[in-house]
Structures are given as structure tokens and as C-alpha cells.
Amino acid sequence: MALEPAITDIAQLKDRPEVAALLAWNAAAVEGAKLDRGQLIVWLHRVALREACLTLKNDPALAYNALADITCVDWLPREPRFEVVYQLFSTSKKKYLRLKVKLQAEDPNIDSLTSIWPGANFFEREVWDLFGVRFDQHPNLARIMMPDNWEGHPLRKDYPVEGYR
Amino acid sequence: MAHMTPTPVLDPSQDKTMVLNMGPQHPSTHGVLRLLLEVDGETIVRIMPDIGFLHTGIEKTCEAKFYQQVVPMTDRIDYLCPMTNNLAYCLAVEKLLGLEIPPRAQWLRVLLNELTRINSHLVWLGTHAMDIGAMTVFLYCFREREDVLRLFEAVSGQRMMTSYFRIGGLALDPPLGWLDRAKKFLTRFPGNIDEYENLLTSNPIWVERTKGVAYLSPEDAIALCATGPTLRGSGVDVDLRRDLPYTGYENFKFNVPISKDGDVYARYLIRVAELRESQKICMQALEGMPEGPTKADAPHVVLPDREKMKTQMEALIYHFKIVTEGFTVPEGEVYMPIESPRGEMGYYVVSDGTAKPYRVHMRSPSFANLQTLRPMCEGRLIADVVAAIGSIDIVLGDCDR
């Protein structure tokens, strides 16, 4: 089974219902799309994320009504440094969609999704704790894995694997 | 661990409630879960889970290991279903590599995965029943669990931290006679399930303690990212084995039990029905077990057999290269969700083209399911908290990673 090359051209992907719906909603908010190993990824502008999730959730043809996961990748030393990764799931269509938002190192801030999915609470606290990405309008953005008085964010690439000694 | 020191939730002007600390050393919190309960008399006003006591930074450690060295780390996340974690990780890396797995390895993976589900559900049933007060069920469940662990030991050399699945297949073919041993156990297992059900299903004390307790509506379950039996107990019909089949699940016939009741009793019935379905899947796997290799034909990824390594120059070179410098994985990223006994176990693996994963993230079902405690418990009695925790079947190692 040879790997097929990933499709990164948004013009070729605009027939996919998810991409088409997002482009129809706000073409300026879609920064890119990629189909890699059968999995669809859409990059969004950070101010558009919450509205885009609402669009995907409320569109009856897509019905991405559940949030499966939130995580983050630190691309140090590349800029934009952080990439927050959202996995959406549709419990009726049984499909996954990955949304990504790029964040600059000096201003890692993004809107919280807790108003759409209260379950985003723990995931966002985890990303804040381990990566230092802040979620605006989060009800309780406290550390969740590390102790309260911990310094630094362990999953950042500039944090040593053995910790500071 | 946000609440290392109890946060003062008391408002002195309205001195009606008090804060009760439960855990982290409480026997019925299934590990090191700490709950802060704000109570008004016996009624819970607010419940705040405090987790992180078992956080060992596995995601960070994975970034410093070769791809094949990550497999033993995944056992230690959810110590009740090691094979499920192995499988999710291996499937993610195999998808990144574009590897094809031979049918015998796939069927053995399904068989072992379902045995793991039986093992995990038996521990859940025993401890859940003991929390509520039925001691005998615990002893019965652990009797059968011991049989499953012996099967694991025979196949992998380890009872709990099996690390039996490898990227590209299995570590070894099962030893001679192992399939017959598995069949013997699986043939008598439905009788054992009847035994547990005789003790619980229509037991008036059990029904009284579980029916209508800790209700979770389907809307809340979806909004709070619940998965697995916790979600199906509220009437949402999602099972990734059937909906997005992986490792050959499309070849097996099984039912997905769901219930609309959304209480502890519904989740109990679903898991017991899943025990029966898992037994059926295992029997189908044993009956149709194909012959053939258990490793993919990919010498740059899969370690050669010991025999070949000692007799053939080329195999020795591959062995040396894989062990010393690992194997490279093409750039890309994959999210691989599978149905673990607790719900959606997803591995998000990012590769930058080197021999070590750039990022491994585990989406663990316990972590997300824990959030459903709030709608389940608020407004109910303290005694029901124990039943609610048991019914979502959390493993704190899975939760904290």
C-alpha cells in the first residue's frame, strides 16, 4: 500500500462538503486545507474559529455536533509557533474533521469553545497547562495536570525532557 | 491539580454549605481521583474533580523515543486495557507509514482486543459492585479475570503490561495450543456472565441503588464529550468498531447495545451486554482465524525473526539499523480513534520525517468522561457519587497520562 501524496491545493478540495460549507460561510477565514492519508484538515483564522464551529455544528448536512479532542503542537523555532488542533465528530454521520489554528509565539491566545461544548473545559485547561496557550472566556483556566505553583509549560519544545534541575 | 489547597468556595454571608474532600486516597475513587464536594446537608451543590496526581508526562517522553520504543509507554497509560492502547498507537503509525497488515495479525489483534475488553469490564464490574456493597461479584469477576491474564501471559510473557502489538503486526505468533486454551475459556465464559447477572440484575438492593441514579441526558453527554458506554447509556448510538471499522472489524458480526435510560443501571446493563458481544466476536475470530504471517512484509520497519537475524547477513543489518537508529516515518499527521472499553481512545501522531515522533497526543476516554460527573451528581446525595464514579468506569492512569 503506497502512500498517496497529500492534496494541499484548496481549489481541488472545494468540492468536499466541509470545505465548501466553510468557504460559503466566510472564505476569508479559511487559510488552507489538506487531505492527507484520507483525513481532512482545515486551517482557520483564529478569530473565526468559534463561529466556524457553530456553522459546522448547525449545518444539517454536516452535523459536526461533538468535539472529540483538543490538543496543540509546538513548532519551535518556526513561526507561527503554535498550532491548536481540534477534532470534531458527527455522531449521526460518523465522520471526523480536523480544524487547526496557527498562533504566534508572542500572543498565544484563542477563543474558548466552552460556550459551544462545555466538555472543551478539561481539554483547554490541559493545553494551557502543558503549552501555555490561553483560552479567552474560559470559565476556569487553571492548571490541570501540573501543580498550581509549577513554572513553565512542559510540552513546549524548549522545555527539557528531564525538566529543569 | 488545580486545587492542591481547597479553594474557599464558602461565602461567609450565606453560611449554608460546606466543602467535603473526597480522595485522593479514597477506595471508591478508582485510583487517585480527588473530588471537592460542596454540600448542603447530604445534597451536593457543586462537584469539582481534581486530577493530575498520576501525571507522568508520557506525551513528553514519547517525543524522545524511537517510534517502536513508544509501544511499551502506551501500556502504562490505561493499565486495564494495554492491548487497546498498543493497537491505537500501532494503527496510527502504520497509517503514517502506509503499511499493510497481514490478515492473521489483524484477526489476532481483534481477538486480543476483545479479550482485553472482557478483562477491563470484569475489573469494572467487580469494583463497581463492591463500591455499592456487593462483595461476592468482585471475587467471581477476578476469578475469570485471572484466566484472561493467564492467556495474556502465555501469549506475551506479561500479565498486564503486555506490549504484544508491534508496528507492522505482532511480536510473535501465539504459542502452540494457545488458541485452544482461549477457546476453552470463551466457551464457558457465558455461563460466568449468567452468574454475575444472577447476583445483580434483578437484585432489589442493586436496582434500588442504581436505577434512576446519576441521570445523564443525551444532550449533556454529547456536549461534555462523553464516549463509549457512558454515551451509549444515554441513547446515542456510536461505536467506532462498527461505524469506522479498523483492523478488520468489518468482518465480524456483533450488536451495539444502547439504552435510553441514562442512569447507572443502564450503563451497567450495557457493559454486561458488551461482555457477551465481546465473547461472540472472540469466537468468530477463533473460528475464522486465517493462516499466514503475523508481521508485515516491511524489513525496514519490522524486526526480523531471531532465527533469520542469526543466519542471514541482510536480516542482521536491518536488525542493527532498526535497533540503533530506528526507522523514519514520512512527514504527516494522523488521528486514529478506536473504541476502547471506556470510549474513544484516540492517538494523534505527528511525524517530521525523522525516527522519533514529533508529537504524540493521547485522547483518553477517562479524561473526557470525568466531566460528566457534574450533571450526574449535582442535586443528588453524597452516597450516589460512588455509584456515579463507578458507572463511568474511569482509570486515573488513562486520565492523567
Tens digit of each residue's pLDDT, chain B (401 residues)? 544 444 555 555 666 788 888 878 776 667 788 888 888 888 888 888 888 888 888 999 999 999 999 999 898 888 888 899 999 999 999 999 988 899 999 999 999 999 999 999 999 999 999 888 888 899 999 999 999 999 999 998 888 888 899 898 898 889 999 999 999 999 999 999 999 999 889 889 899 889 888 888 999 999 999 999 999 999 899 999 999 999 889 899 999 999 988 899 999 999 999 999 999 999 999 998 898 888 888 888 888 888 888 899 999 999 999 999 988 899 889 999 999 999 999 999 999 989 999 999 999 999 999 999 989 888 888 888 888 988 888 888 888 88
CB B76 within 8 A of CB B162: no
Question: Residue A2's pLDDT is what?
Answer: 65
Strand, helix or coil at B274?
helix
Going by C-alpha positions, the residue among A68, A128, A122, A69 that lies closest to residue A103 is: A128
Say if residue B365 is preceded by a cis peptide, omega within 30 of 0. Answer: no
Question: Residue B3's pLDDT is what?
Answer: 44
Show the cell assigned to B296.
Answer: 508485515
Contact state of B1 with A144 under an 8 Å Cβ cutoff: yes
Show the cell assigned to B332.
Answer: 504527516
Distance from the B100 Cα atom to the nearest Cα atom in chain A, whole angstroms: 6
Report d(CA B66, CA B323) in Å as an integer: 9
Distance from the A23 Cα atom to the nearest Cα atom in chain B, whole angstroms: 24
Looking at the DSSP bridge assignments, the partners of residue A67 are A88
Contact state of B337 with A68 under an 8 Å Cβ cutoff: yes
Closest residue in A to B100 (Cα) is A1
pTM for the predicted model, two decimal places: 0.90
- How many A×B Cβ pairs under 8 Å? 116
User: What is the pairing mode between strands A95-103 and A39-44?
Assistant: parallel
Distance from the A29 Cα atom to the nearest Cα atom in chain B, whole angstroms: 23
Nearest Cβ partner for B224 among A119, A126, A154: A119
Strand, helix or coil at A111?
strand
Say if residue A80 is preceded by a cis peptide, omega within 30 of 0. Answer: yes
Q: Which residues of A touch B236 (CB under 8 A)?
A: 91
CA angle A5, B106, B236 (to 5 degrees): 85
Name the strand (E) or helix (H) holding B37. Answer: strand B34-40
Percent of all residues in chain A with a pLDDT value above 70, rounded to a whole number = 98
Question: Residue B4's pLDDT is what?
Answer: 45
Contact state of A73 with B358 under an 8 Å Cβ cutoff: yes
Report d(CA A84, CA A108) in Å as an integer: 10
Q: Which residue has the cell 503475523?
A: B294
Looking at the DSSP bridge assignments, the partners of residue B39 are B18, B44
Question: Residue B5's pLDDT is what?
Answer: 47
**Sign of the Cα pseudo-torsion (B244, B249, B250, B252, in order):** negative
Contact state of B225 with A154 under an 8 Å Cβ cutoff: no
Going by C-alpha positions, the residue among B392, B385, B387, B390 that lies closest to residue B39 is: B385
